[in-house]
């Protein structure tokens, strides 16, 4: 009987302790972007893969424009002057290459 009381006391103490812990949001849960994000991408590009990883890790929703297609290439030449990838447009601001700090800054 005494062992049972000790167990219940331990369970009660653990429940009290757990109920007092305030949930902490992870960095990923806090991330995201309220701005429109468009990534000009080529599936074979290792740097594009890195940027896709950055966007995924930070829970940033984005649209991919396939830079290997003629219409998108024409759009890129008109808009950027070249077809270099990766290019990420966040709220109208262009981020060339892999720049996690800049992507996070623009999504704040």
Nearest 10 degrees: CA dihedral of 56, 60, 61, 63?
A: -80
Residue 22 DSSP code: P
Domain total of the chain: 1
**CATH number of the domain encompassing residue 79:** 3.40.30.10
pLDDT-based confidence at residue 56 (cuts at 50, 70, 90) = very high
pLDDT-based confidence at residue 11 (cuts at 50, 70, 90) = low
Report the predicted TM-score, pTM, of the whole model to 2 decimal places.
0.71
pLDDT at 12: 52
**Domain boundaries, position 96:** 28-106
Flag whether 64 is in a domain. yes
76's CB contacts (< 8 A; 6+ apart) are 40, 67, 82, 83, 87
Q: What is the mean pLDDT of the chain?
A: 83
Among left, alpha and beta (phi > 0; psi -120 to 50; other), residue 64 is beta
Can you tell me the mean pLDDT for 68-85? 98
Can you tell me the mean pLDDT for 58-83? 98
């Amino acid at each position: 009987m005494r062992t049972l009381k000790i167990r219940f006391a331990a369970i009660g103490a653990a429940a009290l302790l757990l109920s007092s812990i305030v949930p902490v949001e992870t960095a990923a849960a806090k991330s995201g972007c309220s701005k429109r994000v468009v990534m000009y991408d080529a599936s074979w590009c290792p740097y594009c893969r890195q940027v896709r990883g950055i966007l995924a890790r930070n829970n940033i929703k984005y649209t991919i424009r396939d830079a290997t297609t003629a219409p998108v290439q024409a759009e890129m030449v008109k808009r950027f002057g070249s077809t270099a990838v990766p290019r990420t447009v966040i709220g109208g601001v262009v981020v060339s290459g892999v720049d996690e700090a800049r992507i996070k800054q623009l999504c704040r």
